Amino acid sequence: MQVYLVGGAVRDHLLGHPYHEKDYVVVGATPEQLLAEGFQPVGKDFPVFLHPETKDEYALARTERKSGYGYHGFEFYTDINVTLEEDLIRRDLTINAMAMDDSGKIYDPYGGQKDLADRVLRHVSEAFVEDPLRVLRIARFAARYQHQGFSIAEETLVLMKQLAESGELNALTPERVWKETTRALMEQDADVYFEVLRSCGALKVLFPELDALYGIPQRPEYHPEIDCGIHTMMSLQQACRQNYSLDVRFAVLVHDLGKALTPVEELPRHIMHEERGIKPVNELCERLRVPTHTKQLALAVCKEHLKCHQAFNLKPGTLWRLLQRLDVLRRPERVEAFVQACECDSRGRLGLENRAYPQAQYVLDAMQVVRSIKAQDLPPEIQGPDIGEMLIERRIAALAELKEQHSAIL
């Protein structure tokens, strides 16, 4: 029985990157042998075991054969005679098809070390096209390693296009698409993920609402980059640059979906695009089963982002109602996330990436003002429904005072 560290841990070890997850392949063993040594079986489709102490995953060496449709359409074969090379050839990329034994010796039958040196993401074999999930994985790896100069091999991109055109992507479960997408969104260059999907035709299959933004013009005096798709990616770059949360990044990604629905005769203006965007944001979130809290912020940013840009011009009562809709009293963190997303939208424009966005601090100051006014501060004679009415009056009055203070500064 031989045990090898495989996959991402070996890749990141050679790149000098820290890694936490360790996966192992066991060659020349049976399930009974691992069970006898205290390993816990966890695999549903093929024999995978957890180490009794470290809880790392140990999988018996296996081969696989396409037998159906989609991500789960495979038959797996494990036997003590399956070799390490046979196990590694079923993997997606050469840089993920390497193994290391406990002495540190690297086993690299498919040229992974050369592709690491050349900064190339290349498929291992033609079996690449049997698994549609690999399109998302390669796009995610492209985003992860963009800052190190990695690019996708042309022949691999051809296979990704074949997968996108085959209809196999439709077999991916919403959970798998969302999982890969969330991991990609948290990369330093998340926009690369979506650009790669677009380049191979997968974006229009999995994210048609986003794909529809490309080629839609905007007014150049507000958007020097003009194209709505480019603006969305530039806005996402801003969210990555600030290391904002997943919820903020997703909200930025979908904030302008309504612009794809602007009637042609109205272009390049996009009147009412906020309201038009509610339907596609809802549809995208429902299709991918996006978590409720993520969806709620995305809808709020889609519908209200122009009001944040116009914050200094809003009447105190209008600003109060905006904060109310953002659930300012119970969820101040949502107001903060909303402001962050709006700031990314403002700066996601060609030549305006570093411009000031004082509206952010103004809205955050307004949030603190309304939250500081509480029922216990009211006169004791105020009771019942009068409490709510007076709280609103005082909060709007406080916002009016804040507006005057900012006007004096400006």
List, as residue ranges, the binding site: 8, 11, 21, 23, 91, 137, 140
Strands 23-27, 2-6: pairing kind = antiparallel
Task: Outline where DSSP puts E strands in 56-177.
Answer: 57-60, 62-66, 74-78, 99-100, 106-107, 120-121, 151-152
3-state helix, strand, coil in the chain (%, to 5): 55, 10, 35
In angstroms, the CA 37 to CA 51 distance is: 9
By CB neighbour count within 10 A (0-12 exposed, 13-18 middle, 19+ buried), where does 374 fall?
exposed
Please name the helix (run of DSSP H) or strand (run of DSSP E) that holds residue 2, with its range, or none: strand 2-6
Phi first, then psi: give them for residue 5, nearest 5 degrees.
-75, 135
Please name the helix (run of DSSP H) or strand (run of DSSP E) that holds residue 249, with its range, or none: helix 246-254
**Binding-site entries for ATP:** 8, 11, 91, 137, 140
In angstroms, the CA 248 to CA 366 distance is: 20
Please name the helix (run of DSSP H) or strand (run of DSSP E) that holds residue 3, with its range, or none: strand 2-6
**Binding-site entries for CTP:** 8, 11, 91, 137, 140
| Cα angle, residue 131 at apex, residues 290 and 19 outer, rounded to 5° | 70
Which residues does 244 contact at the CB level (< 8 Å), separation at least 6? Answer: 252, 337, 340, 341, 344
Task: Kindly list the distances between the CA atom of residue 138 and the CA atoms of 116, 122, 230, 285, in Å, as whole numbers in the listed order.
Answer: 14, 9, 21, 23
Q: Which of 121, 134, 112, 164 is nearest to 66 (CA)?
A: 134
In angstroms, the CA 29 to CA 8 distance is: 23
In angstroms, the CA 268 to CA 224 distance is: 12
Task: Outline where DSSP puts E strands in 42-181.
Answer: 48-50, 57-60, 62-66, 74-78, 99-100, 106-107, 120-121, 151-152
* Cβ pair 345, 235 in contact under 8 A: yes
**Binding-site entries for Mg(2+):** 21, 23
